[in-house]
Amino acid sequence: MMTETARHPRLPTDTDNGLLVIISGPSGVGKTTITRGVERSFADSVFSVSVTTRAKTDADVEGVDYRFIDDATFDAMIERDELLEWADVFGKKYGTPRAWVEEQLARGRLVILEIDVDGARQVKEKLPDALGVFILPPSEEVLLERLRARKRESEEQIQKRFAEARREIAEAKDSDVYDTFVVNDDLERAMNEAVETVRLARRG
């Protein structure tokens, strides 16, 4: 995926190993933990920080988890074609800044996107070499239990997330966006499987 362009002149630390990895999965499936595990396993990995119009929570770090922006700023980014992809998730917008991803790929880095199925589809259309990884719960019952165990939301909100998760899983399975589905039956095992999948893709 390495290309030398006027915008990205080659640096001594650049390699030809650039790989874009998309990690998706419903909420409550352990996706973020697995993503961070993949990130830690590759010395040259970088995590793409998305922009979003959703409100920042106490658990979020500005500029690390997301860049929190308002609707007008988001719309201006779409207008200027600054987003590689974007999607509406639970009524809020989320998007991946394009220039940064392109530069990191040109430098030969392992670039990780944690995005939803809609966004993943857009990325695969533009960059078919991207590796798509979808994290699945061992069963629907387990997913519902995990959503409840987080104790973050009311039962009504949990049911909404559960329905959304089922829809997203069905959509992911029907699409040809994902190269691999990793079942998170055991966090350590699932993380190793995701890391090995990325390692193989990088060799290939």
Binding site for ligand 5GP (CB under 6 A): 27, 50, 54, 85, 87, 89, 94-96, 114-116, 118-119
Token code pair at residue 30: 């352990």
Residue 115 CB, shortest distance to ligand 5GP, in Å, is: 4
Report in angstroms how near the CB of residue 26 gets to ligand 5GP at its nearest: 7
Based on CB atoms, which residue is closest to ligand 5GP, 20 or 87? 87
Please choose, from the candidates 86, 106, 122, 104, the residue with its C-alpha nearest in 3D space to the C-alpha of residue 46.
104
CB-wise, 52 or 106, nearer to ligand 5GP?
Answer: 52
Q: What angle do CA 180, 115, 145 make, to 5 degrees?
A: 75
CB of 199 to ligand 5GP, least distance (A): 23
Residue nearer to ligand 5GP on the CB measure, 98 or 202: 98
Would you call 114 helix, strand, or coil by DSSP? strand
Q: What CA–CA distance (Å, rounded) separates 132 from 22?
A: 5
User: Kind of pairing, strands 180-183 and 131-136?
Assistant: parallel
For residue 10, the minimal CB distance to ligand 5GP (Å) is 28
d(Cα 134, Cα 6) in Å, to the nearest integer?
Answer: 35
Nearest to 130 by CA among 84, 172, 178: 178
Say which residues have a Cβ less than 8 Å from residue 85's Cβ, sequence separation at least 6. 95, 96, 115, 118, 119, 120, 122, 123, 126
Query: CA–CA distance from 149 to each of 5, 27, 29, 72, 204 (Å)?
Result: 49, 12, 12, 36, 40
Q: Which is nearer to ligand 5GP, 13 or 57 (CB)?
A: 57
Which residue lies nearest ligand 5GP, judged by its C-beta?
A: 119
Nearer Cβ to ligand 5GP, position 61 or 187? Answer: 61
What's the min distance (Å) between Cβ of 66 and ligand 5GP?
7
When the beta carbons of 34 and 115 are compared against ligand 5GP, the nearer one is 115
Q: CB 86 → ligand 5GP: shortest distance, Å?
A: 6
